[in-house]
């Protein structure tokens, strides 16, 4: 049991997917099959790249990071529309003459739209790759935001909000998987942290800006600015985000099939090779006949089918994964704190914009400053700790990497998240007694924990279950958004009935329990990987 991780008893030639030999032996002869595999310095590349110049793993680091940067920019634009109404609630109540709860549901139904759309776009992602859904979603974001900008009725704005959720879905589902498509295991931590910041963290900057826009220019202009900037990112996606799902030989996926299979499959031309400079384009070996794609050819929307699996099976797989223990763990680790942020948004609108404070939309927007700073701190912590812990623990585990090493982020998540939830509820329950700077501070702690949890769950699923990562992220999105919708729908009556302090005491206790339970996955995670590999849930349900 390395570091307390439960190690299953394996028969001869059995293996656990996700467990890989990350470093070569420093002294003596390396007895692992991975001694014959490609590496960068003394780090063995997981998964193994093919010899093709079109394999995204063989792109230069500069190209990979540029592609990911553009995807993250578009993710920011798509995620921006989720909390865009947070600081303008009272303005919309007066404009549409609707009650507070109905205005709150403009965000709730937006999340439902994203959840439903995620199931459909997943089938396209898995079947045909990621370029077309990214381009399509970027275009839908422009169109739906323009619709919202000209909406004059509640129903019209509601329709636009649901369609904006459709545009959001592909980015919440697939950007984490895009990191797995382009980067090796040892490079993923900081990139996954950047993705989490883009999707979840930068949304807290939105109310700060939109509050001022609403007061000075009117609420319609919030959406006009989204139209302007998302039009620019749409062009960038079309021109600079090629397809990065690549059908390389499955035997090269050492994190899925094992190092011995990959080593036996490796041609003589790649054995004992040393990838010395990851910033230089790798060229095909002498036996490689695939030509490098031209830039114009890489702009095609479709590049062929990526799997022989029928669409109806792909559609059903995310629902089946709700029976998968690791996916349940991911849902709880990521989904709960994200839902609490939705509840905090309701409190900011209901408590701070009413008596005795009577904040306007600009002042409520400023309350999100702490959340944005907390998200940045969470990004830095996650980016530093995730890869550092993975590499350090691998070094002290006979050079063997276990995906469970990513789970350590749950510890700071638990500390920051629980303190943030309890502190915000306690202070907000009696604003006569406390400084106005305290609620943003505790909100920041909560969002810091949220980013840490998002990175922990995304990196673990990407490394431990990469073969089902897209479907897994859909399952997690469904849980997160539907749970957030239910909370949004009932939050206002619950707050009126029980009071802010009691509500946040309860959800803080729930968060503590969730953190303790999910932290236990450190012990049973490897055992679960072995069981789920041996008794494949999707194969049993005939969805393989």
Query: Model confidence over 415-445: pLDDT tens digits?
Result: 999 999 999 999 988 877 887 889 899 999 9
Q: Is pLDDT at 24 greater than 70 in this prediction?
A: no
Q: Is pLDDT at 286 greater than 70 in this prediction?
A: no
Q: Is the dihedral of CA 194, 196, 198, 202 positive or negative?
A: negative
Residue 219, pLDDT score: 92
The first and second tokens of residue 381, run together, are 């912590």
| Mean local confidence (pLDDT), 343-367 | 79
Pick the most confident of 37-46, 65-74, 280-289, 385-394. 65-74
| C-alpha closest to that of 442 among 432, 450, 433, 452 | 450
| Mean local confidence (pLDDT), 148-167 | 95
Residue spans of alpha helices (H) in 89-153: 89-96, 100-128, 131-150
- pLDDT-derived band at 383 (thresholds 50, 70, 90) equals confident
β-bridge partners, 401? 20
SS3 sequence, 189-214? Answer: HHHHHHHHHHHHHHHHHHHHHHHHHH
| Mean local confidence (pLDDT), 174-183 | 91
Higher pLDDT, 58 or 201: 58
Other beta carbons within 10 angstroms of residue 4's beta carbon come to: 8
Report the CATH superfamily, name and number, of domain 56-246+312-540: MFS general substrate transporter like domains (1.20.1250.20)
Question: Over the stretch 484-527, which tens digit does the pLDDT of each residue have?
Answer: 888 877 887 888 888 889 999 999 999 999 999 888 889 999 99
Higher pLDDT, 11 or 536: 536
pTM score of the predicted model: 0.81
The domain limits of the chain are 56-246+312-540
Residue 253, pLDDT score: 78
Calculate what percentage of the chain has a pLDDT beyond 70.
91
| C-alpha closest to that of 163 among 184, 146, 175 | 146
Q: Residue 88 and residue 93: Cα distance in Å, rounded? A: 9
């Amino acid at each position: 049991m390395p570091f307390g991780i439960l190690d299953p008893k394996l028969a001869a030639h059995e293996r656990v997917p996700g467990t890989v030999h990350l470093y070569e032996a420093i002294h003596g002869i390396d007895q692992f099959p991975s001694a014959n595999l490609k590496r960068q310095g003394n780090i063995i590349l997981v998964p193994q790249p093919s010899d093709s110049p079109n394999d995204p793993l063989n792109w230069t680091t500069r190209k990979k990071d540029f592609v990911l940067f553009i995807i993250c920019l578009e993710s920011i634009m798509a995620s921006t529309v989720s909390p865009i109404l947070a600081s303008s609630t009272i303005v919309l109540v007066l404009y549409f003459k609707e009650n507070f709860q109905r205005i709150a549901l403009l965000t709730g139904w937006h999340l439902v739209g994203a959840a439903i759309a995620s199931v459909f776009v997943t089938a396209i992602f898995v079947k045909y790759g990621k370029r077309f859904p990214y381009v399509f979603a970027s275009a839908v974001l422009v169109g739906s935001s323009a619709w919202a900008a000209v909406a004059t009725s509640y129903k019209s704005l509601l329709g636009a909000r649901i369609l904006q959720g459709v545009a959001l879905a592909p980015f919440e589902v697939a950007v984490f998987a895009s990191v797995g498509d382009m980067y090796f295991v040892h490079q993923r931590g900081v990139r996954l942290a950047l993705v989490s910041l883009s999707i979840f963290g930068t949304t807290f900057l939105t109310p700060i800006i939109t509050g001022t826009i609403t007061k000075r220019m009117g609420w319609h202009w919030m959406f006009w600015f989204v139209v302007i900037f998302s039009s620019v990112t749409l062009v960038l996606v079309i021109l600079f985000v090629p397809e990065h799902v690549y059908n390389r030989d499955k035997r090269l996926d050492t994190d899925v099939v094992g190092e011995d299979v990959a080593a036996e499959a490796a041609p003589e031309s790649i054995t004992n090779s040393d990838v010395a400079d990851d910033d230089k384009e790798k060229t095909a070996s002498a036996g490689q006949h695939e030509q490098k794609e031209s830039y114009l050819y890489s702009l095609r929307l479709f590049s062929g089918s990526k799997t022989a699996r029928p669409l109806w099976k792909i559609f059903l797989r995310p629902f089946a994964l709700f029976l998968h223990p690791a996916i349940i763990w991911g849902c709880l680790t990521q989904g709960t704190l994200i839902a609490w942020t939705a509840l905090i948004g309701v409190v900011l609108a209901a408590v701070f914009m009413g008596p005795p404070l009577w904040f306007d939309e600009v002042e409520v927007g400023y309350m999100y400053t702490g959340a944005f700073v907390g998200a940045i701190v969470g990004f830095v912590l996650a980016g530093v700790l995730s890869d550092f812990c993975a590499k350090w623990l691998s070094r002290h585990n006979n050079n063997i990497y276990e995906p469970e090493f990513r789970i350590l982020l749950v510890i700071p998540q638990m500390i920051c998240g629980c303190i943030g939830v309890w502190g915000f509820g306690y202070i907000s329950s009696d604003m006569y007694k406390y400084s106005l700077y305290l609620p943003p501070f505790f909100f920041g702690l909560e969002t810091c924990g949220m980013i840490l949890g998002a990175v922990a769950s995304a990196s673990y699923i990407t490394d431990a279950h990469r073969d089902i990562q897209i479907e897994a992220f859909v399952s997690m999105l469904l849980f997160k958004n539907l749970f957030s919708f239910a909370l949004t729908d009932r939050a206002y009556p619950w707050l009126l009935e029980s009071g802010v302090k009691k509500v946040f005491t309860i959800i803080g206790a729930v968060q503590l329990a969730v953190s303790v339970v999910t932290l236990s996955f450190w012990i049973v995670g490897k055992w679960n990987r072995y069981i789920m590999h041996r008794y494949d849930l999707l194969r049993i349900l005939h969805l393989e």
